[in-house]
Amino acid sequence: MDRWTPSLVEARLSEAAFVLKRLPEPRLRGYFSTWPEIIHSFADKVGQEPKRMRVLPSPQAISRMEETLSWTVGLDPVDGKIVWLRAYGYRWREVCRAVGLQRASAHHHWVYAMCLIAHRLNNRRLNPRLSMQQVIDLARADDPAL
């Protein structure tokens, strides 16, 4: 990646959340069933919901997901929670309820977190005294879509 922008960061976080959803559930070792596998006839299957087909993610997608998981480590806990809730596709109403902020404030925190992650990925040092709005304005110069 040549230059990271907040929109690219958002896309990568969404992909990581999608990969996390598709990973198989962890299983406890040592527990198994001695019962034989039940083979259902056609009459048994009529009216049943079909099983959801689970497509496992590719190794490259898992590697990108593992890289992405460390991006929110240095963020404020509220900002990190907002970022991951939005990456998982939660609506703003649910995000606001989870973090206890109004919608405009939660959106401002989310944009700030995206900009901060983009600056870190671009190896740009930011003055810690900059306000949230100043960090967002710096990122807007790089990404006009923001």
Encode 40-68 in three state secondary structure.
CCHHHHCCCCCCCCCCCCCHHHHHHHHHH
Q: What is the pLDDT of residue 107?
A: 95
Q: What is the pLDDT of residue 145?
A: 67
Domain-embedded: residue 65: yes
Q: What is the pLDDT of residue 84?
A: 96
Using CA atoms, how far apart are residues 61 and 135, in angstroms rounded to an integer? 30
Domain-embedded: residue 139: yes
Domain-embedded: residue 42: no
Domain-embedded: residue 78: yes
Domain-embedded: residue 107: yes
Q: What is the pLDDT of residue 1?
A: 60
Domain range for 77: 1-21+59-146
Please, what are the averages of pLDDT over each run of 10 residues along the chain (146 residues)? 86 95 82 83 82 84 94 93 96 96 96 93 87 86 70
Domain-embedded: residue 29: no
Using CA atoms, how far apart are residues 43 and 16, in angstroms rounded to an integer? 40
Counting the structural domains of the chain, the total is 1
